[in-house]
Amino acid sequence: MNRLVIGTRASKLALAQTQTVIARLQQLYRELEIVIEPIHTHGDRVTETPLARIGGDGIFVTEIERALRAGVVDLAVHSLKDLPTAPPEGLLVMVPGPREDVRDVLVRRRDFLGSPAEPGVRIGTCSLRRTAQLRALYPQAQILPLRGNVDTRLRKLEAGDYDLIVLAAAGLRRLGLSEGLADRLECLPVEMLLPAPGQGALALELRADSELLPLLAPLNDVEVQAATSAERAFMRHLGAGCYLPVAAHAWLADGRLHLRALVISLDGRRVVRVQGSVAWHAEQAPRLAAQLGVMLAEQALAQGAEEIIAEIRAASTV
C-alpha cells in the first residue's frame, strides 16, 4: 500500500489526535502517503441536545464506520470512549499506546475565585457520568448541561455562562491547551471522579479483511488494550451505553491487572462501587481483560446496578 486514507471527525481535537497517529506511521513508513478525510457525524451536527437524548451509542462514529465499510477510507481514528462496546460487524478495533492522562479536570473562569463546593456554583459538563459524580461531590452546586467542542466550551465559560467546567485532561493536552490554562486547572484524581471506560485512549478501526493489519501492528499496545478492554467489558456486560453514568479505570501494577468501576444514579445519591484484579500474563491479555470486566459487572449487578441503569434509561425517554 502506497496511499492511506484516514477517516476521522472534523473537530480540531479529532484532527489533532489523528495527526499523532500519522506521525507514528510516518516514522515507520516514510514512503507512505497519508491523507485525512474529515467526516461530520450526527453528534457533531446536533450540538444543543444532551448526548443521552440524541441517539446514544455511535453518534460520533456511525458515519465514519459507514465510510470505512464502503472503502471511502482505509482506517478510522476515534476517541475510544466514543466507540460502542459491541464488536462492530466486519471491522476490527486496535488500541495504540501510549494512553493519555485519564483524569477529568475542572477549569475555572478567569474571574471566578470560589470553590466548586460553594452553594449555587455553576459547573458545566455534557456527560451524565460526570454530572452524577459531581452531584455526589458537590451537592450544593448547580450542574448544568454543556455541549460543543473544547474551544466552544471554553468560550461559554469565559462568557459567564458557568463558573467552572469539566473537561478531559487528555483532550486539553492533545490540543496543546494545558499549559495556557495551568493557573486555573484542577486535576481531579480518579479516586474522586472516575473516568469513562476508554478515556484517554485512541482507537484505530479497520476492515476485518484489510491488508493494513501488519502495518498497524507496531502501534498496538498490549497493556493499554487490556486495560481499556477490561473497562469496556464491564460496561458491555452491564448492558450500559457510552453515555450512561458508568465509570471504570483499569491499570497494571505489581503483576496484576486492576479494575475500579462504578454505576451511579443521576442525583448522585446511590452509588455501586466495585474493585478487583487478576494476575497479569501478556499472552492471555484479551481473556484476562474480559474476565475481569465481567466479574466486576456481575458484582455490580448483584449490588443493584441494573436498577440504577433502568431508571436512567426510563428517565431519558420521557
| Per-residue pLDDT, 166 | 98
Q: Which residues contact 193 (CB under 8 A, 6 or more apart)?
A: 103, 104, 130, 133, 134, 137, 166
The alpha carbon of 252 is separated from its chain's Cα centroid by a whole number of angstroms, namely: 19
Residue 302 identity (one-letter amino acid):
A
Specify whether the backbone of 235 is left (phi greater than 0), alpha (psi in -120 to 50) or beta.
alpha
CATH number of 104-188: 3.40.190.10
Residue pointed to by grid coordinates 471527525: 9
Q: Is the pLDDT of residue 45 over 80?
A: no
More confident of the two residues 217 and 51: 217
Q: What is the pLDDT of residues 280-302, one digit of tens each?
A: 999 999 999 999 999 999 999 99
Rounded Cα distance, 169 and 185, in Å: 10
Catalytic residue list: 82
Q: Confidence class of residue 53 from pLDDT cuts 50, 70 and 90?
A: low
Residue 72 C-alpha cell reads as 471511502
Which is it for strands 185-188 and 104-108: parallel, antiparallel or unpaired? Answer: antiparallel
The mean per-residue pLDDT over the stretch 58-69 comes to 92
pLDDT at 280: 97
221-318 CATH choice from 3.40.1360.10, 3.30.160.40, 3.30.420.40, 2.30.40.10: 3.30.160.40
Instruction: Please name every residue paired with 187 in a beta bridge, in sequence order, or none if there are none.
Output: 105
pLDDT at 41: 87
What is the CB neighbour count within 10 angstroms for residue 233? 25
> β-pairing, 91-94 with 104-108?
unpaired
Omega prior to 195 cis, within 30 of 0? no
* pLDDT tens, position by position, 235-273: 999 987 666 899 999 999 999 999 999 999 999 999 999
Report the distance separating Cα 224 and Cα 250, nearest Å: 9
Q: Is the pLDDT reported for residue 232 higher than 80? A: yes
**pLDDT at residue 55 greater than cutoff 80:** no
Looking at the predicted structure, is the pLDDT value of residue 46 above 80?
A: no
pLDDT (0 to 100) of residue 48: 59
**DSSP letter assigned to residue 232:** H
Q: What is the mean pLDDT of residues 132-158?
A: 95
> What backbone phi and psi angles, to 5 degrees, belong to 14?
-60, -40
| 17-26, long-range: CB < 8 A, 24+ apart | 17/77, 17/79, 17/174, 17/202, 18/77, 20/174, 20/202, 21/77, 21/96, 21/202, 21/204, 21/219, 24/96, 24/219, 25/215, 25/219
Looking at this protein, which amino acid is placed at residue 50? P
Reading the block at residue 75, the C-alpha cell is 482506517
Answer whether 194's CB lies under 8 Å from 262's CB. Answer: yes
Cβ burial of 132 (10 Å; 0-12, 13-18, 19+) is buried
Say what the pLDDT of residue 305 is.
95
User: Which helix (H) or strand (E) covers residue 288, if one does?
Assistant: helix 285-302
pLDDT surpasses 60 at 52:
no
Q: How confident is the model at residue 51 (pLDDT cuts 50, 70, 90)?
A: low
As a whole number, mean pLDDT of residues 78-83 equals: 94
Mean pLDDT of the chain: 93
| Intrachain domains 1-97+202-220 and 221-318 with the same fold | no
Average pLDDT over residues 2-6: 95
CATH architecture under which domain 1-97+202-220 falls = 3-Layer(aba) Sandwich (3.40)
Tens-place pLDDT, residues 24-33: 999 999 999 9
**What was the pLDDT predicted at 181?**
96
Domain boundaries, the chain: 1-97+202-220, 104-188, 221-318
Please name the helix (run of DSSP H) or strand (run of DSSP E) that holds residue 203, with its range, or none: strand 202-207
Confidence of residue 312 (pLDDT cuts 50, 70, 90): confident
